[in-house]
């Protein structure tokens, strides 16, 4: 039972027509101004970022994007960012803090790109610095996991006050294929891995890893985009309002404690 | 508790007269000789991987060592098939409860908080126990206003602890952000190997980042990269020297010089006298 179910989540989350950050920006935000580049060496199109209005309020929006057809997918490196993407995101987040804009990140990535250049330019350092910075940013941060949220490549944009998953999305330490490959040296055992990994929204909410779930329309977000947009709009408006009202020191303390508590060890 | 336990284990397991063959140059040496030389090959300088207690013995002043939260152990949060048995086997083999030792001690009489990952236990992988001990060490160093040293030796995330393993990256990075905001001093020492989620969290967040010669350091594993890009990797890829060349570590320090270098850095970061601040006021 569970096996088929968890595996179906993966298929839905990875579907080519899965709603992407560009869809959400178009539907939920106005006045979007895209910002390019990390100001160090290059632009990484795998991560889209900029300023927009949400219900009239200026916000910074950042999201990984995979692309909706093969050409786009190649251009966006299948949603696998290089270090420059994370550094661009950090630049935009620092700017959001300076101008007191809340930050909303959208996650849909197979993970950070495993490549020679990515290593040479410090993939690990780029992700680490993002998490470190996000944990202390003095503005509310919301993360929406819309498709796949795999590994440090996802977490590097997800140290947020409110982390929410769409009900058919997945969030995990690694893709099930990578997981099976590392543990059993056999990527084809990914279905079995899915079953064990606890990567669905329900499992993660129960485990206290995420803060909320937004139920997708029947057949997944892509089956009824208008309904998905309405549901997400409502949820974002509610939580942005709630987080914005908190004194900043309380917000930072709660953010710290939330991540501090995940994972329990026996004394 | 102290070095003796580890020492006894070591002697029982190995026997000092046995020979060790250097994996790099194939030269043979008595294990005793190798241990006397801090497990660095006398012929080619290869740095053997060493356990956490051996590391502490090399770095800290004799008898200055006190281990903290020694018995912290995993709950097997995913109820992962075979994981408990594997943990028990590794506990028996290494005498450790998990892949990490946390201690307070002194280096040339300067008090420090030290965490050492141990690659003999599940290749030093980071699960909840590793993440929790590192976070506690950071918080302890913060409270006590002590400098923090972390010796990384890890293949990355502990797969059997899944998402809980991943979240330790956020936890440790958040703790270090606070520590840094309080002007805490953190030296990260990268040893062979430092990979994956460890590289992509605390190991890359040192005020000073040092590495041992030849240490493998990176985010993605070589096999994954080769499969992704369909070509073989350049010579020396992801080695300490490569990282230094690309601007990601302050210095490569051979093991025999490490204690002196750490002492030098600690002295350069001794807190300023309160009186200096006072004299500037009013």
- CB contacts of A132 in chain B (<8 Å) are 173-174, 176-177, 180, 205
- Using CA atoms, how far residue B239 sits from A101, A125, A144, B193, B219, in Å, is 41, 15, 36, 9, 12
Measure B178 CA to nearest chain A CA, in Å.
8
Q: What is the pLDDT of residue B16?
A: 53
Is B17 inside a domain boundary?
A: no
CB atoms within 10 A of CB A246: 14
**B173: CB partners within 8 A, 6+ apart:** A128, A131, A132, A135, A159, B201, B202, B205
Q: Which of these, B216, B215, B214, B212, lies nearest to B258 by C-alpha position? A: B212
Q: How far apart are CA A9 and CA B29, in angstroms?
A: 55
Residue B146 sits in a domain whose CATH number is 3.90.226.10
Q: Which of these, B16, B43, B11, B38, lies nearest to B27 by C-alpha position? A: B43
Is B193 inside a domain boundary?
A: yes
| Residue of chain A nearest B218, judged by CA positions | A119
pLDDT in tens, chain B (282 residues): 445 544 444 444 445 568 889 989 999 988 888 989 999 999 999 999 999 999 999 999 999 999 999 999 999 999 999 999 999 999 999 999 999 999 999 999 999 999 999 999 999 999 999 999 999 999 999 999 999 999 999 999 999 999 999 999 999 999 999 999 999 999 999 999 999 999 999 999 999 999 999 999 999 999 889 888 888 899 999 999 999 999 999 999 999 999 999 999 999 998 765 544 444 444
B194 sits in which H/E element: strand B186-194
Q: What is the pLDDT of residue A6?
A: 74
B166 sits in which H/E element: helix B162-181
- CB contacts of A122 in chain B (<8 Å) are 204, 246-248
* Structure tokens given for A74: 């190649």
For A43-87, what is each residue's pLDDT tens digit?
999 999 999 999 999 999 999 999 999 999 999 999 999 999 999
Determine the Cα angle at A230 with ends A224 and A232, to 5°.
100
Measure A27 CA to nearest chain B CA, in Å.
31
- Sheet (strand B66-68) strand order: B66-68, B100-107, B110-117, B148-154, B186-194, B208-211, B251-252
Q: Are strands A212-214 and A162-166 parallel, antiparallel or unpaired?
A: parallel
Lowest mean pLDDT: which of A26-35, A168-177, A219-228, B269-278?
B269-278
Q: What mean pLDDT comes out for the span A170-180?
A: 92
Contact state of B224 with A114 under an 8 Å Cβ cutoff? yes
User: Total structural domains in chain B?
Assistant: 1
Instruction: Report the complex ipTM.
Output: 0.95
Q: What is the pLDDT of residue B91?
A: 95
| Beta carbons of B65 and A258 less than 8 angstroms apart | no
Identify which of A152, A181, A265 has the shortest CB distance to residue B200.
A152
DSSP B157: B
| Beta carbons of B38 and B31 less than 8 angstroms apart | no
- Using CA atoms, how far residue B185 sits from A18, B180, B208, in Å, is 45, 7, 9
B152 sits in which H/E element: strand B148-154
Structural domain range at position B198: 3-12+50-269
Please name the fold of domain A2-260.
2-enoyl-CoA Hydratase; Chain A, domain 1 (3.90.226)
Is B96 inside a domain boundary?
A: yes
Is B30 inside a domain boundary?
A: no
Domain extents in chain A: 2-260
Q: What is the pLDDT of residue A119?
A: 97
Identify which of B78, B177, B200 has the shortest CB distance to residue A127.
B200
Is B102 inside a domain boundary?
A: yes
B22, HSE (Cβ side, Cα atoms, 13 Å): 18
Mutate: best of B75, B202, B219, B234, partner A, most A CBs <10 A: B219
Is B201 inside a domain boundary?
A: yes
């Amino acid at each position: 039972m569970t096996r088929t179910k968890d595996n179906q989540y993966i298929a839905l989350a990875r579907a080519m027509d899965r709603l992407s950050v560009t869809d959400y920006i178009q539907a939920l935000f106005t006045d979007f101004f895209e910002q390019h580049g990390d100001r160090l060496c290059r632009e990484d199109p795998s991560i889209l970022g900029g300023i927009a209005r949400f219900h009239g309020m200026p916000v910074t929006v950042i999201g990984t994007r995979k692309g909706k057809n093969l050409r786009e997918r190649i251009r966006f490196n299948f949603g696998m960012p290089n270090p420059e993407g994370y550094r661009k995101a950090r630049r935009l987040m620092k700017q959001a803090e300076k101008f007191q804009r809340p930050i909303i990140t959208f996650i849909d990535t197979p993970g950070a790109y495993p490549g020679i250049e990515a290593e040479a330019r410090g993939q690990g350092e780029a992700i680490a610095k993002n998490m470190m910075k996000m944990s202390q940013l003095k503005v509310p941060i919301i993360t929406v996991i819309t498709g796949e949220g795999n590994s440090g490549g996802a977490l590097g944009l997800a140290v947020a006050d409110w982390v929410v998953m769409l009900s058919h999305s997945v969030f995990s330490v690694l893709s099930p294929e990578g997981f099976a490959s590392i543990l059993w040296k056999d990527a084809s055992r990914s279905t079995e891995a899915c079953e064990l990994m606890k990567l669905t929204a329900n499992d993660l909410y129960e485990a206290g890893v995420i803060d909320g779930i937004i139920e997708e329309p029947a057949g997944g977000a892509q089956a009824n985009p208008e309904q998905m947009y309405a549901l997400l709009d409502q949820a974002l408006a509610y939580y942005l309002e709630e987080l914005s009202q908190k004194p900043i020191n309380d917000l930072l303390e709660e953010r710290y404690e939330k991540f501090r508590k995940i994972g329990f060890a026996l004394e | 508790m102290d070095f003796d336990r580890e020492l006894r284990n070591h002697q029982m397991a190995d026997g000092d007269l046995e020979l060790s063959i250097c994996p790099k140059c194939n030269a043979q040496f008595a294990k005793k000789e190798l241990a006397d030389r801090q497990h660095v090959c006398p012929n080619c300088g290869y740095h053997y991987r060493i356990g956490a207690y051996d590391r502490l013995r090399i770095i800290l002043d004799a008898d200055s060592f006190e281990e903290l939260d020694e018995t912290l152990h995993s709950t097997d949060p995913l109820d992962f098939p075979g994981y408990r048995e594997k943990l028990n086997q590794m506990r028996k083999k290494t005498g450790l409860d998990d892949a990490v030792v946390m201690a307070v001690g002194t280096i040339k009489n300067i008090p420090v908080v030290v965490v050492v990952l141990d690659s003999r236990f599940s290749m030093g992988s980071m699960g909840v126990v590793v993440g929790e001990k590192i976070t506690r060490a950071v918080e302890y160093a913060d409270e006590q206003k002590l400098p923090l040293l972390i010796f990384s030796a890890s293949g990355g995330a502990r797969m059997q602890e899944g998402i809980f393993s991943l979240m330790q990256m956020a936890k440790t990075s958040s703790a270090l952000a606070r520590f840094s905001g309080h002007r805490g001093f953190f030296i990260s020492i990268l040893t062979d190997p430092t990979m994956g989620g460890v590289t992509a969290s605390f190991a890359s967040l040192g005020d000073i980042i040092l590495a041992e010669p030849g240490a493998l350091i990176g985010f993605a594993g070589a096999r994954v990269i080769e499969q992704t890009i369909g070509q073989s990797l350049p010579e020396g890829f992801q080695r300490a020297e490569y990282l230094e060349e690309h601007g990601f570590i302050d210095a490569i320090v051979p093991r025999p010089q490490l204690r002196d270098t750490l002492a030098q850095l600690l002295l350069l970061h001794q807190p300023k006298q309160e009186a200096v601040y006072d004299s500037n006021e009013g």
